[in-house]
Amino acid sequence: MSVEQQSKRPVTVIGLGPMGQAMAGAFLDAGHAVTVWNRTAGRAAELVGRGAESAPSAEAAVAANELVVLSLTDYDAVIAVLESAEPALKGKVFANLGSDTPERAREVTRWLAERGAEHLNGGVQVPPSGIGSPESSVFYSGPAELFERYRDTLEVLAGTDYRGDDPGLAQLYYQIQMDLFWTSMVGYLHATAIAEANGISAEEFRPHAVSTAALMPWMIEFYAPRITAGDHRGDVDRLTMGLAGIEHVRHTAEASGVDGELPALLAQVLRRAVEAGHGEDSLSALVGRFRRA
């Protein structure tokens, strides 16, 4: 072990998909001693070539270091791996940076606590290429003291955004970001399909798509304080107007030979709100309509 490695916290990384590979690589680049384990053993080869230690089992990987970073597909995989490492769990700290639901994050915290281990949950907001950059950001939640203890080491991976004690919060913030991301991206791709069906290439559409997407920050800044205040005045937009607009999109899609299912779904959401008496309210009234409880 080099002198630099001795002064830095050694870390175990379990799960060597593209994300886990990037994380283990970032720790190596920053001079940490890294132990890795992956279900499919061949995936450790490149990291071993860069100086990582490949553990023979998940149990040995957990036993190797106090801090264990998990980068697995979901929390079923987390439990499957940790069950196989059960004798080594006590006293360990798991930074679980894969994605799943807030409730599953809370369950994993309870499961680990029953075995004498601690859990910091993380929601990674960047692709593997963003790991190792302080401009990137990962949501964390779990005990504040635990987060502070490992913060310096975790900041090797990306900037940290601590959300609070409730272990579900990191996944909650991650999933609401993903909700916004997926609905926006699918909307962009649907619009591109209509453009292409009419001979407008994605490249020709690009500057127009960018200028419409650039309205989003302005709209979020405008609506957020109104939504917080429960102010859904239809002074700048109205649901009846939005419904007519979405129906025009649907008709344009269908006339272009493009599936109109997506705008039809949006129209259905708005129509229900209009039928419930919100026709003269702002689009922001949908927030209350989406809530079931």
Q: Which residues are at the interface with ligand NDP (CB under 6 A)?
A: 15-20, 38-40, 43, 71-74, 77, 80-81, 98-99, 124, 127-128
Q: Which is nearer to ligand NDP, 128 or 187 (CB)?
A: 128
Q: Which is nearer to ligand NDP, 98 or 234 (CB)?
A: 98
Give the integer Cα–Cα distance in Å for 230 and 207. Answer: 35
Q: Least distance in Å: CB of 19 to ligand NDP? A: 3
Q: Which is nearer to ligand NDP, 72 or 266 (CB)?
A: 72
Q: Which is nearer to ligand NDP, 131 or 266 (CB)?
A: 131
User: Which H/E stretch holds residue 37?
Assistant: strand 34-37
Query: What number of helices (H) and strands (E) belong to the chain?
Result: 13, 8
Residue type for position 142: G
Taking alpha carbons only, the member of 153, 80, 154, 79 closest to residue 122 is 154
Give the integer Cα–Cα distance in Å for 209 and 98. Answer: 31
Taking alpha carbons only, the member of 94, 29, 31 closest to residue 61 is 94
Q: Which is nearer to ligand NDP, 42 or 277 (CB)?
A: 42
Sheet of 158-164, strand order: 53-54, 34-37, 11-14, 67-70, 93-96, 118-124, 133-141, 158-164
CB nearest ligand NDP: which residue? 17
Q: Which is nearer to ligand NDP, 81 or 285 (CB)?
A: 81
And the tokens for 47? 């990291």
